[in-house]
Amino acid sequence: MRVMIGLSGGVDSAVSAALLKRAGAQVLGAFIKTWTPPASLNLPAGKAGLRGASCAWRNERRDAMRVAAHLDIPFVTIDLEKEYKESVVDYMISEYKSGRTPNPDVMCNKEIKFGAFLRKALEMGADAIATGHYAQIIPPSPSLMLREGRGEIQLLRGVDPAKDQSYFLWTLTQDQLSKNIFPVGHLLKSEVRELARQLRLPVASKKDSQGICFLGDVDMKEFLSHYIKTKPGKVFEAGARTKVIGEHEGALFYTLGEKILGQYVVGKDVEKNLLIVTKNHLTPTLPYNKGGQRRDIKLKDINWISGSQPNTYDLVPSTCQVRYHGEKLPCTVSGNTVTFKQPVLVAPGQSIVFYDSNICLGGGVVE
């Protein structure tokens, strides 16, 4: 089997490549070059973010090349700069401008890793791609195929609950899953690290990357300030008597549930450029930009990984996850509406992901 592995320069993809080769696959390592913020944005020295990102990809590619050389596999660089700028960066900026809270990692997986990269790999003769995601792919159940004449590939949470990345993969389709492999999804992070040491991979002790997909540890407010013009505004504490407790850098830069001045943002008014905060985010619904607690939430861009919404004879959503590493909250989905047993704090643009136990069924974007 010819597999193109996305080598990011990190330990997870490196171990994934090693496991694929050990399993007998013909492995081709590929570094995906994406858009990086121009150095002209000029962040203050010493601050993690754009200045480092403008040259960090070269360091990551160097590490990816070292891994490929160590494993004795071919290596290529695939330039997806244009696709990333249009599909991820422009999308993210546009969403923030409209007062929404986008998830660039979800869009990165949809449009880049399992979109443009997958298409490029197939064009180059690969049978499948692989990544270092902590998630699992389960082939169709023989009993289901015999009983109902159909088979669905399932996406499961990664075994390591601290590293599970299925939340970011809810947009995947049956066709994409059929051409993808997650070699480390059944492992704990500690086991991946140990394998890297045993295999003497050159990135065995490298720290995990942080921040936005491919952009790294970018200071989001600093980044957005170069593309979105805003101004400081007032922060109001909600309660029996609403009072001003301080200022913020611009309402567009904040999302519901985020902490500022030691309290939680539970509402915002973009037009008036104000934030509403409370000491406890479990507050009644507030009429600010769809803020506050809600039980019934409208979604758009819904994707069911099976290809269609489960009916009464299939698996039905039992829990929903509102944010990465968020709580598993009881829910039901009907049409384009997800209903929670208890009100939850969500912001327009966020992803809500549906699960049945550890099976990721799909998800949607909050309207």
CA distance 228 to 239: 31
The helix (run of H) or strand (run of E) holding residue 77 is: strand 75-79
- The C-alpha atoms of residue 47 and residue 175 are separated, in whole angstroms, by 41
* Three-state SS at 312: coil
The three-state secondary structure class of 310 is coil
Q: How do beta strands 359-366 and 293-304 pair?
A: antiparallel
Distances (CA, A) of 59 to 35, 200, 256, 307: 15, 19, 35, 39
Report the 10 Å Cβ neighbour count for 13: 26
Of 55, 108, 320, 360, catalytic:
108
* Among the listed residues 327, 326, 337, 331, the one whose alpha carbon sits nearest the alpha carbon of residue 356: 331
Task: Specify which residues 78 forms β-bridges with.
Answer: 32
Residue 108 a catalytic site member: yes
Distances (CA, A) of 214 to 79, 178, 182, 277: 13, 24, 18, 32
Describe the chain by its helix, strand, coil percentages, rounded to 5. Answer: 30, 30, 45
DSSP 63-98: HHHHHHHHHT--EEEEE-HHHHIIIIIHHHHHHHHT
The single residue of 213, 320, 331, 360 carrying the catalytic annotation is: 213
Catalytic center residues = 108, 213
